[in-house]
Amino acid sequence: MIRPAEALRLVHINRILFRHGLDEVILATHLFRPLRFLYFVAPWHWFRRKQGPRAERIRKALEDLGPIFVKLGQIISTRRDLLPQDIADELALLQDQVAPFPTKQARKIIEQSLGCSIAEVFTQFDEKPLASASVAQVYGATLHDGRNVVVKVIRPNIIKTIERDTGLMQLIADLGERYSVEARRLRPTQLVSDFKRTVFDELDLVREAANASQLRRNFEKSELLHVPEVYWQWTSKQVMVMERISGVPIDDIRQLASHKVNMQKLAERGVEIFFKQVFVDNFFHADMHPGNIFVDVLNPENPRYIAVDFGIVGTLSDEDKRYLAKNFLAFFNRDYRRVAQLHLDSGWVPAHVHVGDLETAIRTVCEPNFSRPLKEISFGQILVRLFQTVRRFDFVIQPQLVLLQKTLLNIEGIGRQLYPDLDLWSTAKPFMEKAMREEVLLDTLISKLPGEKPEWLRRLPDLPGYIEKIVRDAAQGRLSVRLQAQELRQFQKVLKQGNRRNFFTTVGAALLICASVIYGLDGYQPDIIYGAPFPSWLLGVSGIGLIFLSWFRD
């Protein structure tokens, strides 16, 4: 049931879609399709000025709909495996620029959250915010010990706004999946659900601060990346105080050139940072777009990255990490059969898919890339094309893989902008080999063997992983055994035979005991047998009858 406020908001959304010439989006739905002829006879359609491309109109509509829809567009832009190229590129241009809320409100939130006055914490607090985004606002300040800091404050009443807008998004997504085949292909309800979870995660600044602290610890002794320090005594769910950094924005190429920064080294270090996070630390910053990355230019020959905004991070399971590394290595060895088998082994593709069909599809995507120099191959674009191609095999996109794809695209784009001749593979390979040295060593030895390699030998490097999984599942009580029907019948037959042997053994032992007892009664005397009581005869005959019945039943 739509409430009045939601109904008004829905009308507002439709009005903005019409304003940007997205009438076809509304009229293409099952609900309005019978009225589609009105679109062509309406006077405003005759005299409407020619508008820009479809993708540009979608971006402008999202900007007019407000900050929550802008953030949705940003997140959707990472799903290049689902979106047309033009829309994905245009949505990537969305900027989270939102009108600031009053500083008086920010002060009140800070004081309520920290339980003290602004003056008790800061000697100086800027009245004008440094930045204003959809979820939070950032101010510059100075602590009493002279350290310069930034103060991040969650917007007031933001939860109510998010719940209202995401509720409408869910409603629109449900209608789209119900009435549009194209919408179902884009999986809008899943996208909205993932978006809602991401936005609500960003509302907890303690969570973001913990992410920042973990990343800082991972690069504590490294010259590759600087992560600002979190001041935990002044951090809460609604307020976070961090070290203030100064650096050149990563996309300001002109300023970097004026400082004579070594661009090749800067580009290669960006790749190193990404692969260290993924294949060594297993904890990566998943929002590394140019607005969150700066460069420390104090030593231009040895430049260092600076990262901010840690609301979205990603992790991989050991299995995912190992499979990814093997996929990359197999890809560059052009072993498409191996790539296909890895997709099946990892569970990313259902077991009923034929490995040969998947191998052919992957070869179609990957082989054209090897006609170009290695430095021109785009990991990110290949990953996108693979996701698009194997989707027809019921390929299940894992959230952590989507974050990885998004981050890889950002890093690769930045790297090639800084240094167009960047050879991504030569920079990345040592990190992947280090992450799976034993498996890589076995793969290398097997590849050097002459002749055709049997399948069991090709899968030998995976054996330690399989054994580890079996032991872990058994320890956790998750080990299951599946028997085929024929195997089960054979097992039942063996079990019956075993039971019958046990039965005869028991009866035989009982008869032997009886014979011994009778013989012990002064030897064998026919009179004893003939003169036995009736119950004894009945017991003996019944026992023999049971033996014959059991024999014929089996």
Active site residues: 287
C-alpha distances in Å from residue 354, one per residue of 327, 458, 462, 517: 18, 18, 20, 69
Under 8 Å between Cβ of 247 and 227: no
One-character DSSP codes across 415-470: HHHH-TT--HHHHHHHHHHHHTHHHHHHHHHHHTS-SPPPHHHHTGGGHHHHHHHH
One-character DSSP codes across 503-519: HHHHHHHHHHHHHHHHH
Distance, in Å, from the CA atom of 332 to the CA atom of 340, rounded to the nearest integer, reads: 14
**Quick count: other Cβ atoms within 10 Å of Cβ 23?**
20
Fill in the DSSP letter of residue 533.
-
Under 8 Å between Cβ of 402 and 247: no
Alpha helices in 42-124 (DSSP H): 43-46, 54-65, 67-76, 85-91, 103-114, 118-121
Three-point CA angle 368, 370, 371, nearest 5°: 75
Going 121 to 123 to 126 to 127, the CA torsion angle's sign is: positive
Distance, in Å, from the CA atom of 36 to the CA atom of 61, rounded to the nearest integer, reads: 21
First-to-final CA distance of the chain: 65
Closest CA to 141 of 106, 113, 112, 115: 106
Strands (E), 175-281: 225-226, 239-243, 248-249
Name the CA radius of gyration of the chain, rounded: 35
